[in-house]
Structure formats: structure tokens, C-alpha cells
Structure 1
Amino acid sequence: MGFFSKLAIIIGGPLLGKLMDFSPRVPAYMGLNVVQAAAQLLSATMIIHAHTVSSTSAPAILFRPWFIVLVLAGAIERLCGVATGVAVERDWVILLAGMNRPIALAQANAVLNRIDLLCEIAGASVFGFLLSKYEPVTCLKYAAASMIWSLPVMIGLTWLTNKLATGVLDRPKSCQTSCGESPEEAVVEAGSIVDRGLETIKLGWKEYMQQPVLPASLAYVLLFFNVVLAPSSLMTAFLTQHGVNPSIIGVFSGLCAFMGVAATFLSATLVKQLGILKAGAAGLVFQASLLSLAVAVYWSGSLSQQSPVLLFLGLILLSRLGHMSYDVVGAQILQTGIPSSKVNLIGTTEVSVASLAESVMLGVAIIANDASHFGFLAMLSLLSVVGAAWMFC
């Protein structure tokens, strides 16, 4: 399921990004949220249906109609989520905060990330509590109900945002057809649907490689190769095989999330004190330094004892402060460096490239699927972060 979701983003990201660049902002955003909510409800329905049928072997499930629908709905949901996220983080926030107000933009980015992280923490905590009290099907019904009532709330808040901002989100009608259109983009309008799709994907990658702030974007993409030295399923599997107490693993994951929240407060201060470029460099260098120490602790061969394990996890935990601060600062660099007429196309293509990078690293992890190879994977993750810091600097 995760593979097809990433595949949908890699292929469909540029297509949806170009469509967003030439569509009215508010109606397009609302439409994508409606599609996303419908896909989420369909996914919940299919999972509920799966609990009502008799259990079968894993290979047989892959060819069941409900599972195929679940995979497709999940891919559509992720693609719509990426498109709406790019629209808000790369386009809307600039118009609302102001292109020429770097401190205000940094604070707006920090608030957006803070709300996003807190909602993730609260959502996971509430759903975990429900799972401890009720059956999975009951919990899914609660989740489906929350999706239904939250959709009109989202639509109302989107409309209210544009009204309070005196229509600043309204795209001029002239820009919906010709704003920023180049000869290459004109070619995309001709030909069959398949040809137009392929041309749009190629155009998205071409525009991505030609953007003025490419090094900052490539640094962002390189961080997605770090799938081991981060709170993830691979780290959880490694710690579990080393016999680490599950409560320690849970605390580690929770503290990593709260460290991201702390970074949102730090990032705006860094931009104000150091400037946007030095703030980005500081975040990446800080992360690379702490992960280097973490890898050194691993290669010392002392992780069989609890104290080195706690030191190892503590260094990774603190490195998240640098990672998340660059996530906020890097977003501002890309916001102010990409032409407004191509912000969604380049933004969704960047997410496509990042998904491709993460998929490649996960593929390497699948090949090296033994716990003894964790050090090799950790070194690759460290090199990706060091490479990101070097690229940015």
C-alpha cells in the first residue's frame, strides 16, 4: 500500500501541481479536500469490510476486490493530501503573510508546522486510546464520523480565511490560462491525454531542475534518504530486535514528535537572529553533527547495555531539533525563491523527487533485511544528512 501511494505521488504530483497552478485557489483546494475525505471514507469502509470476511492468507488478500479498492483509495488520498499541503505551505502562506516580510513569514511557517505536529500527536493519542477501549471496527466508525463532520468545517474555514484576507487568495482570471506560460507548457496543451500527461511530468522535472533555489531543495530531498536514523518503523524494528523495552521505544517516538514542536519555536528565532541562509545551515550542520556522534556510539559496539542505547537514542532525539528547524527554514527559502506561477508544479514535483528518494532507500533496506546490516544503513543515512548540509552550505 505504501509503495503504490509513493508511486501515485511520483507520477501524479507534477500533473496535479500544474492543474493547481492554473485553477482558482479556493475552489480547487476545497475540491481536493472533498476528494480526499471521500477516499478516506472509502478506505475506512474497505477496512471495516475486511474485518467482516473470513481471514485468508496474505497472497490471496492481494487479489481481493476490496483490497484493490483500498490501495487505490489510499493512493488518491495521499496524492490529494500532498497537493493541498503544497498549496497551503508554498502558495497560500506567502500571500497571507507577505512575500517581503521574512520574519512574519517565518512565524507563519512555524505556526503551521506547530499546529500540524500537535494535531498528529493528538490524533494518534486519541486513536490509540480508542483502540485500547473498543474494537477496531468501532474505532474506524468513529474515525469516519470525524471525517464527515470535519469536512464542512474545513470548507467554512477556507472561505472565511479568504474573506478575512479580502480575497487575496483569488487568482486573477488572466493567470488561470496564461500566467507564466512558456513555449514548453503550451506544447502540453496539445496531443492526447497520455502525451499531455507525460509532457507535464517532464515539464515538472525540468522546471524543478531549473528553479533558482535548487541546492536548498536538493538538501531537503537528501534528508529523505535518512530512513534509519529517524523515528520510523526501521528504527522500531532495530530496537525491538535489540531487546529494548517497548516503553522506551514509545517514549522515544513521542519525544521526537515534541522535539519537532520545539523546533517550530526555534526556527523563527534563528531566522530573526542569523538570517534565513545561516539559519538553514545551522539546522543542517547541527543535525549532521549529532547523527555522526550517534553512529559513532553504534559502531562502538556497546549497544548491548542500556546506557549506550539511551545515549544513542538521545543523540537522534536532539538531531530532530536541527531537522525540523531546517524543515521550516528551508520551506521559506523555497517559498520566496520559486516563481508564483509555478509554485504548485515545482512544489509537487519536489515531493515526487523526495518520495522517489525515500522509496530507493527503503528498497536498499529491503535488500539488507538483516539486523546485522543496520550499521551499513545507518552510515548511508548519515551520509545523506552530511550531503544535505554540504549541498546547502
Structure 2
Amino acid sequence: MGDAELEARQCLINPEYDPLPTSLLRCLYVGHFLSRWSARMWEFSVALYMINIWPDSLLLTALYGVVESASVALFGPIIGEWVNTLAYVKVLQLWTVSQNLSFIAAGVAVMVLLVYSSLKSIIFTPLVLVTYLSGAVAVLSTLAGTILIEREWVVVMSEDQPTGVLAKLNSVLRRIDLVCKLCAPVVSGFIVSFVSLTASAIFLALWNVVSVCVEYWLLSSVYEGIPALRLKDSNRKQNPSSDPEPSKSISEQNSDLPIENKNNIPSPETHAFGCFSILPCLGAWKVYLNQEVVLPGLSLALLFFTVLSFGSLMTAVLEWEGIPAYQIGIARGISAIVGITATFTYPILESKIATLRTGLWSIWSQWSILLICVGSIWVKNKLPSAYMLMSGVAASRLGLWMFDLAVIQQMQDQVPASDRCIVGGVQNSIQSAMDLLGYIMGVIVSNPEHFWVLILISFVIVTSAAILYTLHIWRVRKHLFHFDKLYGLTQRFLGSSS
């Protein structure tokens, strides 16, 4: 069936159906790309800046990671409430301007520190603090944009659209992020290697000067061009307590299951509690804990409490074990490519076995592949052990990113519209808290020879996350596998063999 015939049939079934304009989708994707490129470029470069500013010490790099993770952990719920309260255009303005201006300020501060090394004795600490605070504001602004686009706009845009549109939008946005994660470090590394660190900081600042205008124009065009966004924004401002029915992609999958929907509807006490400006974080946490998807959210957050990723800790250990930097970069690129593959695989798998079971299969596949990393502990030779570790982490990204998409879609479908942004803010706060614990774990076990301890702890955390999500599936579906279907397939296979 062609696209034109499918759209014609959809119009007959649903007279209100209006396909999303391709040009506006491109504007959404390009605007999202510009935002994620800036974030990924800074994420890679900041560690190089800090090490060069204070050689032979990871102190500045580690402190920056603590400040960034702690800022999201503490203020994530507040950001979620702001996105939930303010108009879409206001959030868009604050997000794009504050993110790009923060990166510009950080780039200028780093450039001064790199060029005028004699300033260290005079204003070294203030400039470092400017870099830290600018990075913290940038990551909080990026969080606001992530909540607005990935947790709010795509849900509104996919309403009254054919089945699978939401999964496709989620996959494309995640694919864009992973492409930026793959390519932005390559571009930054090329500038650092063949020009200079200072040139990299200048390029970062100039990129954001241009990006802020283009990014805002593209995303505001999406807002103005899609009536559903304007209508939703208007209804939200007029009646903020109203709760439109959530999307049905998951509820239809489990329509025959005894799910208690009353937990999806926040009580008046919850809204009243969240209105107290003195305790915004507590109100947001109460809203989050009242959701049906709290267990999947906690499972996803636990996966951030790990060293089994190509982060700063694992990269440092690989370099200590004698792996050349270019090989680490290639492995990181392969990891990103595997993650991009997950964004293509997820919509196919989700259409076959539904969102809940896609998450189940994804997280246990990640767990299975990470057994390779655990096995690397008992390999005596450092190089084979390191290669096993890198291959296991890279291959596990397929399950990780599919699980990430599955949990995000469950939150989009099952969280009421009035609470969606608040839940997104708290979710990112928990994830950053887990990330912060990972930095603390690295400080406690700082000897590279004892990295195997961190591998085992990380594997236990992933196991706990998989078990927690499995318990959620059992609580909702009352079973894990369709043994009757499995028995039927087995019988058909045996019959064909005989």
C-alpha cells in the first residue's frame, strides 16, 4: 500500500487526520541537530580544556563532572515544572538563548585561560568558576529543550496520526543525537589535533553565535506551522489542570489487562502540593512517584550508574592499559554506530511485539552482552582484556538505546499531559544523580588496577535494573512469556521436521 493510499484511508477513518508536513519535520530535525551538536561538542572538548589548563591532574575535569551532574540532579525537577508551566514559545526562547549564550561564555573563558596562562595567579579561579557555571546553565537549558521537544512536542504532533508515528519520531530524534555524539567529537578532535585547543574554543563560541538564530527560527517555524502545538499550548494556558486522554499505543496493547488507571490521574492534592513555590522539588517528586511508569523510569536511571560506557573513567583506564587514543576513538565511533542501528531496529521490533516487551527484550540483551565485559576481568593479558571490554560495551549499546526509547515512549503514552514535563524533569534529575554516583565511585576506587571492581559493581547495577523492569512487566501483564504461542511454534517446528 502506497503512502498516498494509506493517507486517503486514514482520512476516511479519521476526518481530523492531517499528515505532518515534511518541511516542518525537517525544520524540527535540523533545529534538534543544532542543539545536540553544540552539547556534544562541548561534552567532548571540556575534558581536554580542563586537562590542558591544569596538566597532570584530573581534578578540574572531575570537579566539572560533579558540578554538571549535581546541577541537573538538584534542579531537574524545577526545570520540568517550568517547562510544564510556561508557554511553548517562552520555553523555546529561554532554552535557545541561555544554552547558546552559556556555551559562548564558557568558550570565551576557556580561550582566555588557554591563551593567557599568566592569568592563573590573578583570575584563574574566577574564570574556572565561569566555565563551570556556564556549563551547568548550558546543561540545564539543554534539559529544558529535551523535555520540550522529546517529551511534549512529539507527543502532541503524533496525536491523530497513524500508529507508529510516535515511535518513528522518537527514533529519528535519538538517531540525530547519536550522530552528533559520533561526529561532533571527530570534528572537535580534528581542530584540536591539527590546529589548536584555542582554535577549538573559538570555533565553539562562533558556532553558537550563528546557531542561536538559526535554531530559534527553525523551531519557531515548527510551532507556527503545526496547529496542534498552538492549540495544545492555548488549552494548557487556559486550563492547566485539564488532562486530555493519553495516547493509546500502549493502552491498546494492554486493553485486556487489569491496569489501574487511577494512578495515572494525579489527585487534586498532588496539584495543590506542586503549587507551593517553596517546595517545587517535593511537589515534582510526588507527581513522579504517583505515575504508573515509575519502575521503568527507575530502571532506566540505574543504567547511568555505571563505568561500562566510553566515558572519562573508562577512557582513562584504556589509555593506562596501553590502548592508543585513535583506537579508543574508533571504538567510541563504533559504539555510536551501534546506537544509531538501535534507532532503526526499535520501530520494527516495537511494531511486532509492542513497547513493553521491546523494553524487556532490550534490557536483557544488554545484560547478556555485558557478560563479555565481566569475562574480561579474568583475562590476564591487558590488551585482549581491554579489547574484550571495548567490544562488550560497544555491542551492548544496541540493547541500551532500544530500552531507552521503550521507556521514553511509555512515559509519553502513560503520563497525563499536565504532568509530562514535570515527570521528564524528575527523570533527568534521577539519571544525573546516578551519573554523579558513578563519578563518586570512580573517586573511591581511583586505582586503575582495581577497575575490575567498578566493572562488577556496574554489572550488578545493570542486573538490578533488568530485574526491576521485569517486575514491572509481571505486575502489569501478569506474565512474561506467551508459553502457549511458544508451545505452538515448537509443535509446528517438530511437525515440519518429521
Matched residues in 2 for 1:290 and 1:25: separation?
Answer: 41
1:328 aligned partner, one-letter code: L
Offset, 1:167: 4.5
Matched residues in 2 for 1:308 and 1:140: separation?
Answer: 36
TM-score (norm 2): 0.72
Offset, 1:63: 6.5
Offset, 1:374: 1.3
Q: Which shows bigger deviation, 110-119 or 179-188? A: 179-188
Instruction: Give 1:28's match in structure 2, choosing from 75, 91, 100.
Output: 91
Instruction: Give 2:347's match in structure 1, choosing from 256, 268, 274.
Output: 268
Cα pair 1:99 1:336 within 8 Å, conserved: no
Give me the identity figure in percent.
Answer: 25
State the number of aligned residues: 382
SS in 1 for 2:229: coil
Residue 308 of structure 2 is matched in structure 1 by 229
Q: Could you list the per-position Cα deviations for residues 68-117 of structure 1 after superposition, in whole angstroms to 9, with x for gaps in the alignment? A: 22221111111111111111111111111227755211111110011111
Cα pair 1:90 1:335 within 8 Å, conserved: yes
Matched residues in 2 for 1:280 and 1:358: separation?
Answer: 21
1:243 aligned partner, one-letter code: G
Residue 19 of structure 1 is matched in structure 2 by 82
Matched residues in 1 for 2:435 and 2:292: separation?
Answer: 24
Residue 319 of structure 1 is matched in structure 2 by 396
Instruction: Give 1:301's match in structure 2, choosing from 369, 379, 398.
Output: 379
1:62–1:208: structure 2 CA closer, same or farther, 3 Å change rule? Answer: farther
Instruction: Give 1:149's match in structure 2, choosing from 210, 217, 235.
Output: 210
Q: Could you list the per-position Cα deviations for residues 47-79 of structure 1 after superposition, in whole angstroms to 9, with x for gaps in the alignment? A: 11212333577xx68972222222211111111
Matched residues in 2 for 1:292 and 1:354: separation?
Answer: 23
Cα pair 1:290 1:319 within 8 Å, conserved: yes
Instruction: Give 1:160's match in structure 2, choosing from 192, 197, 221.
Output: 221
Q: Which shows bigger deviation, 17-26 or 278-287? A: 17-26
Matches within 5 A, 1:1-393: 1-55=64-118, 64-98=125-159, 101-173=162-234, 175-176=236-237, 178-180=239-241, 182-186=268-272, 189=275, 196-197=277-278, 199-226=279-306, 228-298=307-377, 300-304=378-382, 306-393=383-470
TM-score (norm 1): 0.91
Larger radius of gyration: 2
1:207 aligned partner, one-letter code: V
Matched residues in 1 for 2:393 and 2:331: separation?
Answer: 9
Q: Could you list the per-position Cα deviations for residues 255-304 of structure 1 after superposition, in whole angstroms to 9, with x for gaps in the alignment? A: 11111111111111110111111111111000001112320232x23343
Higher relative contact order (CA 8 A, sep 6+): 1
2:101 aligned partner, one-letter code: A
Matched residues in 2 for 1:165 and 1:313: separation?
Answer: 44
Cα pair 1:260 1:321 within 8 Å, conserved: yes
1:364–1:93: structure 2 CA closer, same or farther, 3 Å change rule? Answer: same
Q: Could you list the per-position Cα deviations for residues 306-362 of structure 1 after superposition, in whole angstroms to 9, with x for gaps in the alignment? A: 445433322222111111111112211111111111111111111111111111122
Matched residues in 1 for 2:426 and 2:124: separation?
Answer: 31
Matched residues in 1 for 2:379 and 2:118: separation?
Answer: 43
1:355–1:102: structure 2 CA closer, same or farther, 3 Å change rule? Answer: farther
Matched residues in 1 for 2:391 and 2:200: separation?
Answer: 34
1:314–1:384: structure 2 CA closer, same or farther, 3 Å change rule? Answer: same
1:78 aligned partner, one-letter code: V
Matched residues in 2 for 1:14 and 1:281: separation?
Answer: 27
Cα pair 2:302 2:461 within 8 Å, conserved: yes
SS in 1 for 2:347: helix
1:17–1:214: structure 2 CA closer, same or farther, 3 Å change rule? Answer: same
1:41 aligned partner, one-letter code: I
Matched residues in 1 for 2:90 and 2:385: separation?
Answer: 53
Matched residues in 1 for 2:347 and 2:197: separation?
Answer: 41
Offset, 1:37: 1.0
Residue 193 of structure 1 is matched in structure 2 by none
Offset, 1:142: 2.1
Which stretches in structure 2 are left out of the alignment for 5+ residues? 1-63, 243-267, 471-498
Offset, 1:174: 5.4
RMSD, aligned CA: 2.2
Offset, 1:164: 2.8
Cα pair 2:96 2:141 within 8 Å, conserved: yes
